[in-house]
Structure 1
Amino acid sequence: MATKPSSSSSPGLLKLEEQLTCPVCLDHYANPKTLPCHHSFCQHCLEGLPLDKKNETYYLSCPTCRHCTELAEEGAGAFPVAFTLNNLKEIYSLMKKVADPQQVTCDNCTSANATGYCKDCSQFLCTECISMHKKWALFANHQLTNLDEVTASDFSSTSQLLAPAKQEAPLICPIPSHDEPLKYYCDTCDKSICRDCIVVTHKDHKYNLIADSFTKHKEALEKSLNPVKGKIEGLKKVLSALAEREGEIRERGEGVLEEIHEMVEEMMKVLRQSEKKLTEQAKRVTDDKLKVLSKQMKSAEMSLSLLEDVEDYVEQSLKTGSPQQFLRSKKQMMERMSEVTAGINVEELHPKEKADFLLIKDIKSLHHIGDMFPLQQCRVKKIDRITPSGLSVSFSLSMEAPDSSLFKRSANGWFKFPRDIAIDSQGLVYVADRDNHRIQKFSAGGKFVGHFGTEGSGPGKLYIPIGMTIDTAATGLVYVSELGNNRISIFTTDGVFVSKFGSFGNNIDQFNNPYGLSFDKDGFLYDSEDKHGWIPYSISW
């Protein structure tokens, strides 16, 4: 059974004890080993896990993340030692001891109360012994910590003050005939070597002293953490956006339900069945959107947790590991970070659903008083009475909404949030189909003629087309403002891409949420922006 922390333990000790608890046996780690996924377990816990066998090779599944790892012939003992946990165990022992400074005695004279701690000697010392310690040339460079400073610090600072100096006895080369300490690091083979190895098996390889290699590879690993940190920050923003969008959808859903109830209460009891039908429709639309957001949030949270685990492991290695320990784990950490960051696309996790549905009141009978209707579901029914008059044109446009059970949002002639309309010199009608990211083209009678543009940011692509105008006085070209790409794209009336201009920003030649477009009599193009007001462009071809 796990050792239960004392109720009087400090929050720092409780946090550290939690970090030192094996998730399998729920006891303090015993000979902890680290898997390639950076999760750690007691060696005996790993040895007790079930194995999968494929083609004479055994595989072990991580109890935390289910990452599958090939098991070496030597078994679980071949996995690298979790040196960060071993270092934390030492810090934990020291922190428990200094929790009551009055009970800590000097490890040197064993009589007086300790007032300081030597990180190099791993000893608590009294004031007199500390004074003698500083006088000896042999101990002149030792790192001494004042116990008053330790007790006044928070958990993070305390663990740093008590962390042992990063020194360890040099490891001996495993090759029996060498019997030399591992003082060098071979960059060619990515491993520690001894003096004899340089002469025998690494003669022409690139190598350096452990200390020098540690500095270089530490900087490389710290730099490799930047993509991890960047994606963590991006995922936090995504989760914030998802939560905000969830609130909007819930609020809009609740508002629609309130409208439904207010309308139904004004009618006779016979209308209660209609109320029930509309309520179910509203909840279904709301729930469908929330389900999509819930899946996105779960995926984003899992990705964030995975990245934070990798970040925590690497940072603990950088803070507490010795050069030997660091270099033995460096390659594994680099591979894991590359694997994790490559598998997460932050852009794909941005909110996909919007709070864009409303109640359409249509009292046909006591049993049909309206429908739940997403705003983007409508199509052109009829266009007539087109009357050119100089530079202006008047017309009549009839729109038709489908039955609420139909979802033909992207079929030809249907729209997902139409936002602007324009008519060319031939009387053909062009509609900016915002959420289908395209321009649809119709005859004067409302017959579908064609469409151009697909979702994207490349040439000829459109992303949230929201404004449109046609240069009927000169070139006949179609100008489309894109809210999503913060630019204006130009097409022929046949949908052939001509060019584009503008980018996101606050300069005079940039856009910040462009909306409506219009030409004046002198051929100047005007764009109304959500942030800037009106900005003129002079266009010539």
Structure 2
Amino acid sequence: MASNVTAQLVLEKISVDHLECSICTNRFRQPKLLDCLHSFCLQCLQELRQSQDPSGTKLTCPLCRHETMLIGSGVADLPNNFAFSALVEEVTMQEKLLEGQGSDMKCQACDEENQAISRCMDCDHFLCQECQKAHGRMTLMMKSHKIYSLAQLQSGQIVYKSKLRDEVPKCCKHPDQNLNVYCNSCEQVICTTCYVLDHTKHSLTGLPEAAEKCKEKVREMVQKCESRKTELSTTIEETCKSRKKLDTMFANTQKKISKKAQHEITKLKQEIAKIQNEMAKIQKEEQNLLKETDTIYQDKLKAYEAVQATNRTEVTQTEHKLEEVEQLMNQASCYEILELQQKLLHNLSELTGKQPEQVPDKLTLMDFEESERSLGRLILEEEPKAAEKQSPLRPGRSCVKEKWELKTEVKNFELTWVHIAHAAACSNNKILVLDSFNHALFTVSLTNSQHAPPHIPQRLQINGLTDAMCIAVSKDDKLLALDGPEVKVFNKQHQLLHQFTPGRGSDSIPTCLALDGSNLIAVGYKGNDEISLHNPDGSLIRRLPAPMMGYYLTMYNYRLIYTTGLTKRLVCVDYYGTSVFSVDMISNVQACLYPKGVCCDSDGSIYVAVLGHPTGVILHYSPDGKYIGCVIKDCIHPHGITFTSDGDLVVAAGVSVKVYHRV
């Protein structure tokens, strides 16, 4: 019974897995310690280096892939893990004693190979009966040696202890000297000779005191790691709750969709012949909505699963690292602890520096809003309350004929031939204009005074912008440019933030773009008669039909407004592609040759630039598409138009930029 207890006490010091090298799966032989605190046999690491990069200065850990820098003689100069070596020796010896192999042990003090009956703990030798007697007859020093019988070792009364634990490391520079002093300045253990030669002016500390300080630092970092582990576990629990909330909303949304669909089907069945087509349409819409809902739900689940997987991996890695640190702190000598202080603190610091992955609150939002024209629409983000939304039929100057005057005109562009086709206003009283002929971008500073001339246009050299065709500016002055098939987003300093390809492929060429107050991005495709709606990061929200799509587009109050070019129409659709109005512009102005730019004032009034004969004009429409009148005449070659933050109208007029103000 005593033997079993002894085995448990010995083997509980460290698990069997920790006594085995993960490469060769045998018990450690000359274990070496990597920077990541994982240990492997010296020979295994030498063979590993040969397989990775024999001449390289780095060695990649096969367990965690962390890299260790090799110095001096390479693998041979890595720190020895004396604690593991001692444990392997102790466990191996104790197993032999417990398994009844003690009777096979021979005397290590003589050459007669007599059976050992005891062990001298001071000499670290097994002794036969004669050698044990000889110990007693020797000098006074040997008479004081501690000798225990094999029976005492086997019963557990005495536990075998490796001499490696008492071995004092030698100085690598002075092999005859023990390492007995810690240099705080150099953060290393040194011998007395090293102190005299190289460290006399440094701060020195005794080994026990230095080791205790190191342990205290490690304990503090362990506490921080434990706190982070708790935070990760809490985050995982909160994410599970959030996932359940999403599941509930997903189920309720599907129920609402199906309930509404079934209600409409019941009504339609009362007029069987007349509304069969309507029933099929609603069923198809239901399936599309359910399919879209399921697709969105699956995408959201992937985000949840990715976050959970990342956090669980972090928890596992933290547990493993803390276990390794604990094992090392419990088993290593003060010399080893001080030698490995930087590695220990670095590993623990890496753990405390990472933050848990969080699931955004908006990821749980999913709902369904009914509509009279169709089943309804999915709601995937918070929308302004009805009282906060601007009415599309808001009265005011939109129903009053206006008068505008030219405030200033900007010419003097540095290029000989220019075609200023697009303009976008920034918040700092500057405008950006695009010369579509040279694909050049200029900035123009406006003045508040009507009589003071604006600054000379300055050409911008923007890295990453080579073939600009259309531009827009966000509320926070980010520049968006349609550059070939891609949309590129730049910050205020015109540095590229990110880019995305909005089209479906080579057959889908974008021709215009626009931004709304929420920084949603709309991209129009003339050849495909469609518009793609995107989040600020470029991710696709949906594609919607846009009949007769042209080269100019604007956004206002959840509506998309564009001109159709040769068909001479002003068209408005909502964010789901439902037609709001389509106006024939020929009936508004007989000289209308080709409608160009379109923009909206702060109250929703619509302004359209029209190429005409002999000159161009600017037309004014109400928010619901009713023609009010021509507000600007004799505007040569008007193309893109926009409003400044002061309410002035900027017109990209071919060879110049014209700025008008309301009088």
Structure 1 residues 295 and 146: CA distance shift in structure 2, 3 A: same
Please state if 1:20 is matched with 2:30. no
Structure 1 residues 15 and 383: CA distance shift in structure 2, 3 A: same
User: Equivalent residue for 2:355?
Assistant: 345
Structure 1 residues 262 and 85: CA distance shift in structure 2, 3 A: farther
User: Equivalent residue for 1:355?
Assistant: 364
Counterpart contact for 2:32–2:40, Cα < 8 Å: yes
Compute the displacement of 1:375 (Å): 5.0
Highest Rg: 1 or 2?
Answer: 2
- Note the alpha carbon deviations across 1:460-506, whole angstroms, 9 max, x for none: xxxxxxxxxxxxxxxxxxxxxxxxxxxxxxxxxxxxxxxxxxxxxxx
User: Equivalent residue for 1:218?
Assistant: 215
User: Equivalent residue for 1:184?
Assistant: 181
Percent identity (aligned): 20
Write the distance in 2 (CA, Å) between the matches of 1:256 and 1:121: 80
Write the distance in 2 (CA, Å) between the matches of 1:240 and 1:162: 46
Counterpart contact for 2:243–2:304, Cα < 8 Å: yes
User: Equivalent residue for 1:376?
Assistant: 382
1:390-409 to 2 correspondence within 5 Å?
none
Structure 1 residues 137 and 239: CA distance shift in structure 2, 3 A: farther
User: Equivalent residue for 2:68?
Assistant: 69
- Note the alpha carbon deviations across 1:228-254, whole angstroms, 9 max, x for none: 222222122122222222222223223
Write the distance in 2 (CA, Å) between the matches of 1:272 and 1:92: 73
Write the distance in 1 (CA, Å) between the matches of 2:368 and 2:177: 81
Counterpart contact for 1:256–1:359, Cα < 8 Å: yes
> Residue 179 of structure 1: SS of its match in structure 2?
coil
Write the distance in 2 (CA, Å) between the matches of 1:298 and 1:37: 22
TM-score (norm 1): 0.53
Structure 1 residues 409 and 51: CA distance shift in structure 2, 3 A: closer
Write the distance in 1 (CA, Å) between the matches of 2:98 and 2:376: 69
Once the two structures are overlaid, the 10-residue window that deviates more, 282-291 or 316-325, is 282-291
Write the distance in 1 (CA, Å) between the matches of 2:104 and 2:302: 62
1:208-287 to 2 correspondence within 5 Å?
208-264=205-261, 267=265, 270=280, 271-287=282-298
Counterpart contact for 1:300–1:349, Cα < 8 Å: no
> Residue 371 of structure 2: SS of its match in structure 1?
strand
Counterpart code for 2:317: L
User: Equivalent residue for 2:406?
Assistant: none
Q: Which runs of 5+ in 1 are unaligned?
A: 1-8, 125-135, 151-160, 386-401, 415-444, 449-541
Counterpart contact for 2:239–2:304, Cα < 8 Å: yes
Structure 1 residues 240 and 20: CA distance shift in structure 2, 3 A: farther
Counterpart code for 1:303: E
- Note the alpha carbon deviations across 1:299-351, whole angstroms, 9 max, x for none: 32333333333322221111111112222212221223234433x134x6365
> Residue 79 of structure 2: SS of its match in structure 1?
coil
1:23-62 to 2 correspondence within 5 Å?
23-47=22-46, 48-49=48-49, 50-51=51-52, 58-62=57-61
Work out which structure has the larger RCO, using CA pairs closer than 8 Å and 6 or more positions apart in sequence. Answer: 2
Write the distance in 1 (CA, Å) between the matches of 2:361 and 2:390: 36
Counterpart contact for 2:390–2:557, Cα < 8 Å: no
Compute the displacement of 1:353 (Å): 4.4
Counterpart code for 1:311: L
Counterpart contact for 1:183–1:192, Cα < 8 Å: yes
User: Equivalent residue for 2:324?
Assistant: 313
Counterpart code for 1:172: K
Compute the displacement of 1:118 (Å): 12
User: Equivalent residue for 2:168?
Assistant: 170
Counterpart contact for 2:106–2:116, Cα < 8 Å: no
Structure 1 residues 65 and 280: CA distance shift in structure 2, 3 A: same
Structure 1 residues 259 and 21: CA distance shift in structure 2, 3 A: farther
Q: Which runs of 5+ in 2 are unaligned?
A: 1-6, 108-113, 127-142, 267-278, 392-519, 523-531, 538-554, 559-600, 605-663
> Residue 338 of structure 2: SS of its match in structure 1?
helix
Counterpart contact for 2:19–2:84, Cα < 8 Å: yes
Structure 1 residues 218 and 138: CA distance shift in structure 2, 3 A: farther
Write the distance in 2 (CA, Å) between the matches of 1:200 and 1:31: 32
Structure 1 residues 167 and 308: CA distance shift in structure 2, 3 A: same
Compute the displacement of 1:63 (Å): 2.1
Counterpart contact for 1:376–1:409, Cα < 8 Å: no
Compute the displacement of 1:446 (Å): 9.5
- Note the alpha carbon deviations across 1:6-61, whole angstroms, 9 max, x for none: xxx99x889923333433344443333222122333333322244459xx863222
Structure 1 residues 169 and 244: CA distance shift in structure 2, 3 A: same
Counterpart contact for 2:60–2:67, Cα < 8 Å: yes
Counterpart code for 2:167: A
User: Equivalent residue for 1:472?
Assistant: none
Across the two proteins, how many residue pairs are aligned to each other?
358
TM-score (norm 2): 0.44
Write the distance in 1 (CA, Å) between the matches of 2:209 and 2:389: 78
Please state if 1:325 is matched with 2:336. yes
Once the two structures are overlaid, the 10-residue window that deviates more, 20-29 or 62-71, is 20-29
Structure 1 residues 31 and 447: CA distance shift in structure 2, 3 A: farther
1:289 equivalent among 293, 300, 317: 300
Counterpart code for 1:20: L
> Residue 349 of structure 1: SS of its match in structure 2?
coil
